[in-house]
Structure 1
Amino acid sequence: MINFKGAQFPKDVILFAVWFYVRFPVSYRDLEEIMEERGVNVDHATLNRWVERYAPLIAQEAQKRKTRTGRSWRMDETYIKVKGRWCYLYRAIDKHGKTLDFMLSEARDEAAATTFFARTIGNNGWPDRVVIDKSGANAAGLENMNLLLLLSGWCWLIEVLQVKYLNNIIEQDHRFIKRITRQMKGFKAFAAAQATLAGIETAHMIRKGQLNGQGGTAFEQFKALAG
């Protein structure tokens, strides 16, 4: 359960504001006006603090409660501007389009790819196969995962496929994330970008129906993650 102790606004108000920001393409000043029209006077700086504080915590709960994912993966990166520089949002989905994991990185190299695959496997289990683009760094990251399997005495390895048309599904999946972040016009800090993207990915998972045993509207599912 997420602790809202000390908050100056009711829990439902905070969660609605966070949900609205990560689900729809609005700026903080747009959201300030939207909240005011609903009788809540809260400035854009406070809204920003709410997203940075609560969105990552809600995303952690979503990872715990999401439905089981498949063992055939699609992995790719998309670009996100942070402090005027392009960073890399690593993302993976299964062949049915369910979100597996995501990670924002300042680098696009073997170390970043290895970290992402290790994290995704830790949250979802080992895949049978992973489809990637022609990136040598991503291929090297998967080779490192296969090396771990060999060193552990496993007799099977992850099948690595570099087939562009098979990755069309994740390239399409990027569009939801880009549509929301486009209105934000870049992030001023890496931590703020990480927090906001965690919320956006969670909203996208809810949109896909990935939360196990959660009913109600999308906002009600989002709110339930806070306990």
Structure 2
Amino acid sequence: MISYAVRWYFRFQLSVRDIEELLFERGVIVSHESTRRWTDKFGAGFAHRVKAARRKSGTTWHIDEMLVSLRGEPYVLWRAVDQHGTELDILLQKRRDKAVAKRFFKRVLAACPEVPKKIVTDQLRSYPAVKAELPELAHVKHVFVKACAGANNRAENSHQPTRERERRMKGFRLPERTQAFLSCLGPLRQHFALKRHLLRASLYRKQLAARFEAWREFTGVTQNPSTAF
């Protein structure tokens, strides 16, 4: 039941009250506050297991920032993805300067076992300044792209799920909760969000079934949860 609730919350654009209704339809009576506590308590652990089990990060990193509003206050969300679109890490900060950029680079390097061959960023001057100070990135190729909100590139496309949830939730509230929520959203959503348009129907179903089986291992569920309702 908890596995279902947490997966629905991060995979789809559902509120905790929506999940309360879906569980009630299946004969499970829980409050929306219980669902909220489940996502807070188990989301980070499930996301950590998903990240640990996925394939190693790609050789090209795309790093970008986006502005989010928390109760009317502007914050900067830093995000790194590889060439496959897999989210490597995110960091929510108040500033957009060299100190924060350096902190974020160190965070991503610590999360990924291998240094990339190439990084792609916009023309923010903090990026080359930080790269020059980090010995791990000394020989990494650095490519600049023009920053554009409507650009169709790997970095800008990676922001779309966050924007969708921001609109669905009518904005984020507290920095700590936003950081925790978005840190779980990327890995858990991507675990099930296969590139369906690139797969035959039979292959898509086969790969999705494998993802569900892996999810049951991550969450400690010994049987298919759908048989429990």
One fold, TM greater than 0.5? Answer: yes
* Alpha-carbon shift at residue 163 of structure 1 (Å): 1.8
Q: Does 1:197 align with 2:182?
A: yes
Q: Does 1:142 align with 2:131?
A: yes
Within the candidate set 122, 127, 146, 1:164 is matched to: 146
The alignment partner of 2:9 has SS state of helix
The residue type equivalent to 1:91 in the other structure is: R
Distance 1:160 1:85, change over 3 A: same
The residue type equivalent to 1:173 in the other structure is: S
User: CA separation in 2, counterparts of 1:169 and 1:162?
Assistant: 13
* Alpha-carbon shift at residue 92 of structure 1 (Å): 1.3
The residue type equivalent to 1:123 in the other structure is: A
Q: TM-score, normalised by structure 1?
A: 0.78
Moved more, 68-77 or 163-172: 163-172
Q: TM-score, normalised by structure 2?
A: 0.77
> What does residue range 54-133 of structure 1 map to in structure 2 within 5 Å?
54-124=42-112, 125-133=114-122
Kept in 2: contact 1:63–1:123 (CA 8 A): no
Number of matched pairs: 205
Within the candidate set 151, 158, 172, 1:173 is matched to: 158
Within the candidate set 4, 22, 28, 1:40 is matched to: 28
The alignment partner of 1:225 has SS state of helix
Alignment RMSD (CA, Å): 2.6
Kept in 2: contact 1:82–1:188 (CA 8 A): yes
Give the % identical residues. Answer: 31
User: CA separation in 2, counterparts of 1:220 and 1:180?
Assistant: 26
User: CA separation in 1, counterparts of 2:171 and 2:89?
Assistant: 22
- 1:32-57 per-position Cα deviation (integer Å, ceiling 9, x unaligned): 22222222222222211111111111
Kept in 1: contact 2:75–2:93 (CA 8 A): yes
